[in-house]
Amino acid sequence: MRILIVEDEEHLAALLSEVLVREGHSAETASDGRTALSRTLTEDFDLLVVDWMLPDLDGVQVIKRLRAADVGVPVLMLTARSQVEDRVEGLDAGADDYLPKPFAFPELLARVRALSRRPPEKETEETVLTAGDVTLDPRRHEVRRAGERIDLTAKEFALLATLMQRPEQVFTRSVLLDTVWGGTTGAYTNVVDLYVHYLRKKLDRDGEPSHIRTVHGTGYTFDPGPGS
Ligand code: CA
């Protein structure tokens, strides 16, 4: 994968780069938010590793602007902050995963591997999924509801794809965590609830029941809706 590391601490950036290159990736670095933003808008990266605290634009601002520009590249956010609200803010901005500093390199690599996993499962690699009025096209990375396109981040897409592969089947939080987040250590089941919340915000319509139904005490299921 071609990875852009956005980190202003030179020593850490160099270390990260070395570790990722040793894993067979191509790693480049940017030391401030504006450079990272302009490079990501004009070049193709497979993954961004973004530190929260950066000179000029901070990591959250970078991610928000990328998502606003419809750039869906997976983002792993690094930060020394460990408060839950901060974590939510990062994920809310469109980061796909979050790693608190200090971290161990094997954990970073596990997160990178999880993010590099293609969302669709083997059997649906090329198959368009349809359930109710929602269609999901894994190849084009496209979701539509009643023909209207809905923009999702990589993790939102992977979560929806997992649920839509088996409509009406109940998925537990830990199964979803494992499937969508690759069972990375330190991932928290709350993240599933958070992403269901994001998906509903984008997918649902006012006054209509949600396609993603909460199964109390268990997890979630995709409900195709009445008549389906
Ligand atoms: Ca920093």
Mean pLDDT per 10-residue segment, the chain (228 residues):
95 95 93 94 92 92 88 89 72 85 89 73 63 89 93 92 90 84 66 93 91 91 81
For ligand 1, the distance from its centroid to the CA atom of residue 101, given in whole angstroms, is: 10
Decide if 227 is inside a domain.
Answer: no
For ligand 1, the distance from its centroid to the CA atom of residue 12, given in whole angstroms, is: 9
Where does a domain end: 58, 90, 116? 116
70 and 17, same domain (yes or no): yes
For ligand 1, the distance from its centroid to the CA atom of residue 50, given in whole angstroms, is: 9
- Please tell me the predicted confidence (pLDDT) of residue 72: 85
- Reduced to 3 states (helix: H, G, I; strand: E, B; else coil), residue 106 is helix
80 and 185, same domain (yes or no): no
Read off the amino acid at residue 211.
H
For ligand 1, the distance from its centroid to the CA atom of residue 69, given in whole angstroms, is: 24
For ligand 1, the distance from its centroid to the CA atom of residue 59, given in whole angstroms, is: 9
Mean residue pLDDT of the chain comes to 87
Q: Which two three-digit tokens encode residue 212? A: 């993603």
Strands 212-215 and 219-222: antiparallel
The answer to whether 211 and 225 have CB atoms below 8 angstroms apart is yes
Decide if 121 is inside a domain.
Answer: no
For ligand 1, the distance from its centroid to the CA atom of residue 58, given in whole angstroms, is: 9
What's the domain range around 144?
128-222
- For 25, half-sphere exposure in the C-beta direction (CA atoms, 13 angstrom radius) is 23
- Please tell me the predicted confidence (pLDDT) of residue 227: 59
- Does residue 209 have a cis peptide bond before it, meaning omega lies within 30 degrees of 0? no
Measured between alpha carbons, how far is 225 from 223 in angstroms, rounded to an integer? 5
- Please tell me the predicted confidence (pLDDT) of residue 206: 86
For ligand 1, the distance from its centroid to the CA atom of residue 179, given in whole angstroms, is: 31
69 and 96, same domain (yes or no): yes
Q: Which H/E stretch holds residue 88?
A: helix 84-93
Decide if 84 is inside a domain.
Answer: yes
